[in-house]
Structure 1
Amino acid sequence: MGVFSALLDSTAVILLLVYVGMALIATEFFVKARGIAGLLGLVSMVLYFTAAVEHLSLWMVGLFVVGLTMMIVDGKFVQDGTMAAIGVLLMLVGLVMPTNDFLLGTGVACALILGLLSSLLSFRFLPKRDIWEKLTLRDRFTSEAGYSSINVTYQSLVGQKGRTLTDMRPSGTIEVGGKTYSAVTNGTWLKKGSKVKVESVNGTRIMVVEVKEG
């Protein structure tokens, strides 16, 4: 127990716990890791809070838990990255505040950011979550799979009007002519149910603009 306590008192170990914890939690968010990475990351964060218990308050843990919950909800249901980004900020505050020291707090913040960046390496080894398809609208079609015919169909949408089925942030889902499509705006965020017109099509990337009433 004495050795364990001594390890948790080490600044290097504290920073390592934050780095590893964030890297594993973010990996769970970015790719399909079957919950293993997320669980191990959570254990690492629990050890960190154990080390910081001297200056720890319940609201700090609460911020971290709320932030983590927002990441999970975004990754599983919303899948647009907005809630996850806010969640990371809340987790950052919840992790930095217990340090009660500027230098250590800065180190914890850097460890969290480095862990987040390191998790991007998981893209090379594990399948990505659907969120990346929605955010980037990557074109998966090839000529052999009928890309040409789909492109012609999409080109025919130019000038047609429809409505948004989801919030556009700036990507989302629209309905035109009774069919649904993934689309993006020129950077403008639109609410669900907004009237839109297809302004241009590039491959299978549909650009829409809001139709002002009146």
Structure 2
Amino acid sequence: MTQELLTWLSVLAFITGIIALVLEIFVIPGFGVAGVAGIILIGWGVLLLSVDFTQATAALGVALVATVVLFGLGIKLFSKLKLWQRITLQDKQNSASGYVAPVSEPDISPGMVGTALTPLRPAGAIEINGMRLDAVTSGEYIPPGSRVRIVKLEGTRMVVRVVTD
């Protein structure tokens, strides 16, 4: 290859890499093949343009370190801007503010009997041992006030039937 062709090839690789990165950022969702290809093409273009391989490798290393440092400083400084604070959530969710994790389900097991608080058609609320719980039927309608028995527990889904005895 002639030197002139090699120069144009490196410029073409560099520009194609920038186009691939721009497409990846603004057009293609996520970071995938176009982004990685863009980074590789930009690096390859810089290596081809350099006179000395050692010089190019050192320049790429310095650029990589500078990018990481500037990115870190940018995040630190950008997070202090009023615009950033207006568009991000600043409140913390703690128990002093009233945020508490839901209490784990009490000891509920199949066979327990309770009362339907609302119509179950097929979903509604029941009461067992003074606790209000959500339940579903197998498809039948159960009027409020009916006695119901838990027939199946599937994770958080509680299936009940009318007590007939």
Shorter-chain TM-score above 0.5: no
TM-score, with length taken from structure 1: 0.32
TM-score, with length taken from structure 2: 0.40
Q: Which protein has the bigger helix share? A: 1
Q: Rg bigger for which structure?
A: 2
Work out which structure has the larger RCO, using CA pairs closer than 8 Å and 6 or more positions apart in sequence.
1
